[in-house]
Amino acid sequence: MPPLLLALSALALGWILLPFYGAILWAIIIAVLFVPIYRILLSRLRQHRNIAAGLVMLLVLVVGVLPFALVTASLAREASVVYQLIESGEWNPALYLRGLFDALPAWLAALLEHAGIADFEHLQRLLTNALAQGSQFIATQAFGIGINTFGFVASLGVTLYLAFFLIRDGDELARIAELALPLPQQFKPELVAKFMAVVRATVKGSLLIACIQGVLGGLAFWLLGIKGALLWAVVMACLSMLPMIGAGLVWLPVAAYFFITGGVWQALALVAYGIFVIGLADNLLRPMLVGKDAGMPDFVVMITTLGGLAVFGINGFIIGPTIAAMFIAVWHLWIAERTRTF
């Protein structure tokens, strides 16, 4: 077959499937994660592939789709409440930063002045607008998932439908894909194994760490009486996908707010909790779940996660590290081949 014809047909297929690239990506992720469970069920169900794959998809609905729908509905309500509090002026966190702004050292005040932020009123307007826009965006997006059901249901349907067949026929499809790889045969198993390991490590590690840190942070906020604890828990969970700096972008400003407003023990408790509980969960689990299995150091995971998010949106937290890991694997294979050649 002429290579040009193959390339053109592949580009045409990619163009047709582009609107559903996110759905296809998550179908592949579901298949990679749940194939081991499928194989266990298959052996116990006397090789009834359709029944085993159907039970796996039921498990995906129970542990994945249903909790996501419930959290999204609750998040939409809390984000709307926060937005209304900011709009009404009842909740204006920027005002509580005045003491911190006035107590800034001279060199930092000069730096802010050089950046065009010479007075607190200007900083207050910027911060208030940012908080209002952020909470409104979260509320709109979360509410839109529930209202714009056609796009969401269509993508979800494609994901689950494709995942069913990828799980059921995954071994055969993987064999065909391995045969089609334009690489020497001795390199193909290692590259395929690397891809599977990176996807599993990135998804399981990042999502598990995000959920743990979000729950821990939300629990702390709820105990401290902070409004919108669920909203901030979800924000911390999303930011926790960034190694090292993630959840601290939320709890550190809140601790500073407590300190400025006289809640010294709440500030100290939150800082200690953030460092020794929330931060420790990241520092202990991420190297074991992501870096170790993916074969990448934390700084590579962080940079490629940020780059992936910038280029691909929310799906980038998987695509970025996966591309980096595949590059490293191919690079190692190329070096090994060059070493054997010379």
Q: Give the pLDDT confidence score for residue 103 in this predicted structure.
A: 56
Q: Give the pLDDT confidence score for residue 191 in this predicted structure.
A: 73
In sequence order, what are the residues at sequence separation of 6 or more whose Cβ sits closer than 8 angstroms to the Cβ of residue 128?
A: 86, 92, 94
CB neighbour burial string for 107-122, b if at least 16 within 10 angstroms, e if fewer: eeeeebeeeeeeebee
Q: Give the pLDDT confidence score for residue 138 in this predicted structure.
A: 53
User: Rounded to 5 degrees, what are φ and ψ at 3?
Assistant: -60, -35
Q: What is the SS3 string spanning the chain?
A: CCHHHHHHHHHHHHHHHHHHHHHHHHHHHHHHHHHHHHHHHHHHCCCCHHHHHHHHHHHHHHHHHHHHHHHHHHHHHHHHHHHHHHHHCCCCHHHHHHHHHHCCCHHHHHHHHHCCCCCHHHHHHHHHHHHHHHHHHHHHHHHHHHHCHHHHHHHHHHHHHHHHHHHHCHHHHHHHHHHHCCCCHHHHHHHHHHHHHHHHHHHHHHHHHHHHHHHHHHHHHHHCCCCCHHHHHHHHHHHCCCCCCCCHHHHHHHHHHHHHCCCHHHHHHHHHHHHHHHHHHHHHHHHHHHHHHHCCCHHHHHHHHHHHHHHHHHHHHHHHHHHHHHHHHHHHHHHHHHHHHC
Lookup: tokens for 42: 């298959």
Coil, strand or helix at 46: coil
pLDDT of the chain along its 342 residues, tens only? 566 777 788 788 888 888 888 888 888 888 888 888 998 998 888 888 899 889 999 999 888 888 777 777 676 666 666 666 666 666 655 555 555 666 556 666 666 666 665 555 665 666 666 655 655 555 555 454 444 555 667 788 888 899 999 998 877 887 777 777 666 676 677 777 777 777 777 777 777 888 888 888 889 888 888 877 777 888 888 777 766 667 787 888 788 777 777 778 888 888 888 888 888 777 777 666 665 555 666 677 778 877 887 888 777 877 887 788 778 777 777 777 777 655
Closest CA to 304 of 225, 224, 202, 183: 202
Distances (CA, A) of 3 to 174, 182, 300: 22, 12, 35
Q: Give the pLDDT confidence score for residue 58 in this predicted structure.
A: 92
pTM greater than the 0.85 cutoff: no
